[in-house]
Each structure stands twice: as structure tokens, then as C-alpha cells.
Chain A
Amino acid sequence: MSMPLSGNEAIAHAIKQINPDVMGAFPITPSTEITEYVANFVANGEINTEFVPVESEHSSMSVCIAAQAAGARAVSATSSCGLALMYEMLYVAASCRLPITLACVNRALSGPININHDYSDSMGARDTGWIQLYAENNQEAYDNFIMAMPIGESPTVRLPVMTCMDGFITSHSVENIDLLDTETVQQFVGEFTPEHYLLKKENPLAVGPYDISAYYMEHKVQEAEAMKAAKAIILEVSARFEKISGRSYGLFEEYRMEDAELALVLIGSTAGTAKAAIDNLREEGVKAGLVKIRVFRPFPGEELARALSKIKAVAVMDKSEGFSGNGGPLFAETRSALYDLKERPHMINIVYGLGGRDVRIEDVGKLFERLAAIAASGETGPVYTHMGQRSREETK
């Protein structure tokens, strides 16, 4: 049944349906509502989650680590500087192979301080060893959260999962959503039955001890192997999810790519606006398409190379700067993934939408005009540029 819910309400509803053992809780805009809703569910006796309010996000993630290491299922929600404050503990969670689930409601990082959307928070955490799933809208945010535990808890994976959605654009926008019934969700997610955990008396163990050089590298390679293995598990879990929901998910979504000559690669809600722009362009005969990245970690490099191999000109759109001086993080990954193709498309990088700068259908249209000119001339031109910012004169 179609219901009107915001993205934050949708995640809170998913948490209510899953009824996890523990939530480490510290509020930060725009994810605060998730924590508030769950606090209400607990106070009303609707779920029996152990709700642990703490004094910082470093501690909320530490609560999750301790709980998950003890054999419980732990969740948290955060944004922006909250994720940054968890940074140290994100690595601990992943390297201890603890499949915690974190709802990351993306928001720009300070400074200057800003509450609106971009991906500078989760992109900064891309090397922490967490699986990252991104959503275009409230429906995908809800669905990703329900798939997170079966993915992360899979014995071949055992990694934490961050489900990301766009702050305000998705988290605070009320849209139609189809919810699953609670019994279906609980059956799908199942029980968490770790092989090893702190409180297992038959096999006491230490979690997170010092690792000497003789073993550290082996452990890191195992972690890297787990991340590689996650790709197949994500597809398996998504196929299983399609059976209960009718909604199909892959590593990325291809929109009107069958015969496309010009394409965008991007993440999140902007894909929705771009789809509308592409529909308009298709009516004018422009062979436009897009690839919307759902899974950023593990990065679907080979699959993306195949999807883009026949395209003439591609714009990779980064909604975070990255400050590499050489393009944003999605661009770096995408361009690297295409290196082994015999014939590669022209490729440019557009950094856009920082701090919530709005993206209009017209902006996407202009971008396709630029791609068409590149395809026609064979000249890539400037590779790494920004979109939508005003000039020095305009801001005076």
C-alpha cells in the first residue's frame, strides 16, 4: 500500500520492523528524526531495542561495536560531522568484522558550516572498510536498510553497512512509499547468529587487540577479500529482496542506456531529476542515458566498464569535492575502472550541488549539450570542472 512518508520516517519504520537489539544514539541534523522516532518506539514499548543515548558519535559507534562484538545486532544513524567524529571507530567496526548497520543521512561537512546535502561526509569514509549503499529516494532508502543486515552478516562478508540517503532532499521530503509488512521484513532479515562473539562461553575471545606486523597484513587482506566478496552477496540479497517486494536492485541502475551515446554517472536524488531531463532529450532525438551508482563500496568497476564501453562521451558527477586537485572520488574510481577498455569514451568530471546547491532539469540539459559537443568534435576539453557556482563578480 502506498503511504506518504519522509526518508527519515521510512528508515525509522524499517528499524521498528527489524527491532534490532541495540541502538547507539546521538542526534545530528538531518538524521536526528530517525533517532527521535526510534526513541519514541522504545518509550512506547513498540520495540525492545536497547536505546543507548550517549554524549557523542564516537561513543554511539563505540556502543554499536561493543554490542555487535557481544553478539547483538546494533544500528545507528548520523550525518556530516557526526560521521566524521565516528571516523576512528568506523575503521574499528570494519576491521573487527562487525556487521553494524548505519543510516547515514548525507550532509555537507564543515566548514563553512552548512546543513544541506552533499556527499562529503560518506565519501570521506569511503576507505574505512564499510559497504556503502546509496538511495535515490525514500523507497530505495527503506529497501537498502532492510537489505543491509543480510548483506553485512553474510559469513563471506562480515562487514558493516552504511545506507546513505540525501539529507533533506530525501530525509525530509514526504513522498509515496510502499512498505513491506513486518513479518515479511523479519523473515527476510532473519536472526543474527554469529559464529564467534565475546559472550560465547565455549570460546572466549578478545576483540580488537594489538596486531603485530607478522599478522596485520594478513588481516587486512582478509578484509579486502571480504569487500570483494560482498559484490556477489549484494546481488544475491537483492534478488531475494525482489521476490518479497517486486523491486529490482543491482550494483547500479542503468536508465535508457540500451542505445545511449551520451551518459551521466551519478549518485542519489539528482538521478531522478536527470531521468526527467533524459526523457525530454530523448523526445528531441538525443541518445542520452545515465548510470546511477547504488553500491559505491565495493566499487562495481568491471560492471561499470562494460556499461560504459559503447558510450561516446560520459560526464561523471561528483556531489563532493574531494580536493584531490584531479577530480572527485566517483570520477577517480570510474575513470580508473575504464582504463583496461580497448576503446574508452571521452570522460569529464562535474563537481556539483555542494552544500545543497539545487540541480535543475535545465542544468542537466546543458551538461548533455556539452557532452554532445565533445562527442561531435572528439575533443574532451577541460576534464575537471564545477557546475552551478557563481563568478566572483556575481557574488559581490
Chain B
Amino acid sequence: MGNNGMTEFRWHGRGGQGVKMACLLLAEVACLQGKFVQGFPEYGPERMGAPITAYDRISDKRSSIHSFIYYPDYVIVVDETLLDSVDVTGGLKEGGAVIINTVRSPEEVRPKLRGWQGKVCTLDARRISEEILGQNFPNVPMLAAAVKVSAVLQEEGFLTDMEKAFHHKFANKPQVIEANMATLKKSLEEVQVG
């Protein structure tokens, strides 16, 4: 938990991986869970594959701050290849955690983290997504991982409201909702904390 009961998340991913969607879904679901939220991607020249950053603030009191997040409680890395080019743990609070989409274990991936001493969590989001959704959409698994590790929301309420959010998001293709829900549940179980 950050200052004044506020939890701040920073997402790192690449254009096309659904990072913006995951960031906004987290805000939407937390709001439905009675929290005050801000979910906002950093916008610029949008290109498929380019590094992108997105942010969430979740708190019990309304936050008026409208700057980017420089000292997050949690960092979510949706694309492991970014570890080579981006200092993902820059500014990450000591008691926080970095959550990485990788086939590797926390111990295996830690040497890539430029001296980060704190908690490292991993999830093989690609495998889960490909097994259940049939395609590589790592954003929904990583959203589940962020909720699990941060405990910012209760799992049961999170799942109930995610289903509502999916109905809103996928109003035109409701057939994908069930698989996305299964992806969430599987991801909640599989996160490794190290």
C-alpha cells in the first residue's frame, strides 16, 4: 500500500498487447468495487510493437493528482523483452513488487532487474492465453496477476465485476467472455511469488 491508502500501478508493454485495455479494465473494476480510480495510458506516436506505459491509481479517497506515476507500488511487465531496454523497476517502492510475463521463475529473471532487491513475481501469461484463448493476449492474465499480488481487490468481487466489465467490453462478441473468465481464474492460481 502506498501513501494515504493509495495503490499505484505502472504497466510496461508494447503497442498491440492490450496494455491500455488491461489498465482501463483494472480502473473500471476497482471503481465497481467501490474504490476511487484513475486509469490512464501515456499517449504518443502509436505503433505496433513500440514500448508503451500505462498507469492506475486505486484508493479509498479521491486522488486529485494528475501526473504520471514515478514511484509505483507495483510494476507489471507485459513483455519480457522490455527488461533489456527499459528500467522497469525505476522508482518502484521498496515494499512493492514487479510482476513479469515470462516462462522463467522469479529467481531466474531477477538478474535482469538491475539490482532490484524486492519482490519478483512471474506468470506465464502467453501459455495460459494460448491454451485457453487460442491466441497470445497476455493482458488479461497479467491483470489477474496484478490483482492477486497487490491484493488491492478481493478476488471474488474482482471476478464478479470482471464478468460485468467483459459484458460491456465484448458486447459485440459475447462468445469470448467465458474463455476470458477462465483465463483470469487460471492466472490467479498460477502467479509465482519470489
> A residues engaging B (CB < 8 A)?
2-4, 30, 115-116, 136-137, 166, 168-170, 172-176, 269-273, 275-276, 356, 358-361
Q: Which residues of A sit under 8 angstroms from B65, Cβ to Cβ?
A: 272-273, 276, 361
B31 near A272 with CB under 8 A, answer no
B64 near A272 with CB under 8 A, answer yes
| Contacts known (A173-B39, A174-B28, A176-B31); A115 close to B44, Cβ less than 8 A | yes
Task: Give the shortest distance, in Å, between B68 (CB) and chain A (any CB).
Answer: 5
The one of B37, B43, B62, B70 in contact with A4, judged by C-beta atoms closer than 8 angstroms, is: B37
Selected A-B contacts with CB under 8 Å, 20 pairs: A2-B31, A3-B31, A4-B39, A115-B44, A116-B43, A137-B66, A170-B66, A173-B66, A174-B40, A175-B27, A175-B37, A175-B38, A176-B37, A272-B65, A272-B66, A275-B64, A356-B43, A360-B68, A360-B70, A361-B65
Of residues 102 through 123 on chain B, the ones whose CB sits less than 8 Å from some CB of chain A are none
Task: Give the shortest distance, in Å, between B91 (CB) and chain A (any CB).
Answer: 11
A176 near B36 with CB under 8 A, answer yes
> What is the bound-complex CA distance between A168 and B53, given in angstroms?
14
Task: Give the shortest distance, in Å, between B63 (CB) and chain A (any CB).
Answer: 7
Task: Give the shortest distance, in Å, between A121 (CB) and chain B (any CB).
Answer: 16
Of residues 78 through 137 on chain B, the ones whose CB sits less than 8 Å from some CB of chain A are none
> What is the bound-complex CA distance between A115 and B43, given in angstroms?
8
Interface status of B24 (Cβ within 8 A of chain A): yes
Q: Which residues of B sit under 8 angstroms from A358, Cβ to Cβ?
A: 67-68
Interface status of B2 (Cβ within 8 A of chain A): no
> What is the bound-complex CA distance between A272 and B62, given in angstroms?
11
Q: Which residues of A sit under 8 angstroms from B28, Cβ to Cβ?
A: 4, 174
Which residue of the partner chain B has the closest CB to A360? B67
A273 near B24 with CB under 8 A, answer no
- A30, A176, A270, A273: which has the most chain B beta carbons within 10 Å? A176
Interface status of B32 (Cβ within 8 A of chain A): yes
A174 near B27 with CB under 8 A, answer yes
Which residue of the partner chain A has the closest CB to B26? A174
Q: Which residues of B sit under 8 angstroms from A30, Cβ to Cβ?
A: 43
The one of B38, B41, B43, B63 in contact with A276, judged by C-beta atoms closer than 8 angstroms, is: B63
- Contact count band on B: 20 to 34
A361 near B67 with CB under 8 A, answer yes
| Contacts known (A4-B32, A168-B43); A174 close to B66, Cβ less than 8 A | no
Task: Give the shortest distance, in Å, between A229 (CB) and chain B (any CB).
Answer: 33
Q: Which residues of B sit under 8 angstroms from A361, Cβ to Cβ?
A: 65, 67
Q: What sequence of 0s and 1s flags, for each residue 53-83 of chain B, a beta carbon within 8 Å of any chain A beta carbon?
A: 0000000001111111010000000000000
Q: What sequence of 0s and 1s flags, for each residue 1-42 of chain B, a beta carbon within 8 Å of any chain A beta carbon?
A: 000000000000000000000001001100110001111110
> B residues engaging A (CB < 8 A)?
24, 27-28, 31-32, 36-41, 43-44, 62-68, 70
> What is the bound-complex CA distance between A272 and B38, given in angstroms?
13
> What is the bound-complex CA distance between A211 and B70, given in angstroms?
57
Which residue of the partner chain B has the closest CB to A270? B66
Task: Give the shortest distance, in Å, between B129 (CB) and chain A (any CB).
Answer: 24
| Contacts known (A4-B27, A360-B67); A173 close to B40, Cβ less than 8 A | yes
A174 near B24 with CB under 8 A, answer yes
Which residue of the partner chain A has the closest CB to B39? A174
- A4-B31, A136-B64 provided; 8 other pairs, C-beta below 8 A? A137-B64, A172-B40, A174-B27, A174-B28, A273-B64, A276-B63, A276-B64, A361-B67
| Contacts known (A4-B27, A4-B32, A176-B31); A273 close to B67, Cβ less than 8 A | yes
> What is the bound-complex CA distance between A174 and B70, given in angstroms?
19
Q: Which residues of A sit under 8 angstroms from B64, Cβ to Cβ?
A: 136-137, 271-273, 275-276
B27 near A359 with CB under 8 A, answer no
Task: Give the shortest distance, in Å, between B168 (CB) and chain A (any CB).
Answer: 10
Q: Which residues of B sit under 8 angstroms from A3, Cβ to Cβ?
A: 31
> What is the bound-complex CA distance between A356 and B68, given in angstroms?
11
Task: Give the shortest distance, in Å, between B149 (CB) and chain A (any CB).
Answer: 22
Task: Give the shortest distance, in Å, between B46 (CB) and chain A (any CB).
Answer: 9
Q: Which residues of B sit under 8 angstroms from A360, Cβ to Cβ?
A: 67-68, 70
9 smallest beta-carbon distances between A and B, as pairs: A272-B64, A4-B31, A173-B40, A269-B66, A174-B39, A174-B27, A4-B28, A272-B66, A360-B67
Q: Which residues of A sit under 8 angstroms from B37, Cβ to Cβ?
A: 4, 174-176
Task: Give the shortest distance, in Å, between A16 (CB) and chain B (any CB).
Answer: 16
Q: Which residues of B sit under 8 angstroms from A172, Cβ to Cβ?
A: 40-41, 43
> What is the bound-complex CA distance between A115 and B31, given in angstroms?
28
Task: Give the shortest distance, in Å, between A270 (CB) and chain B (any CB).
Answer: 7
> What is the bound-complex CA distance between A61 and B9, given in angstroms?
41
> What is the bound-complex CA distance between A276 and B27, given in angstroms?
21
Q: Which residues of B sit under 8 angstroms from A4, Cβ to Cβ?
A: 27-28, 31-32, 37, 39
> What is the bound-complex CA distance between A295 and B91, given in angstroms?
38
> What is the bound-complex CA distance between A112 and B28, given in angstroms?
35
Task: Give the shortest distance, in Å, between B152 (CB) and chain A (any CB).
Answer: 15
Which residue of the partner chain A has the closest CB to B31? A4
B38 near A173 with CB under 8 A, answer yes
Q: Which residues of B sit under 8 angstroms from A273, Cβ to Cβ?
A: 64-67
> What is the bound-complex CA distance between A294 and B38, given in angstroms?
22
> What is the bound-complex CA distance between A74 and B62, given in angstroms?
34
> What is the bound-complex CA distance between A198 and B63, given in angstroms?
48
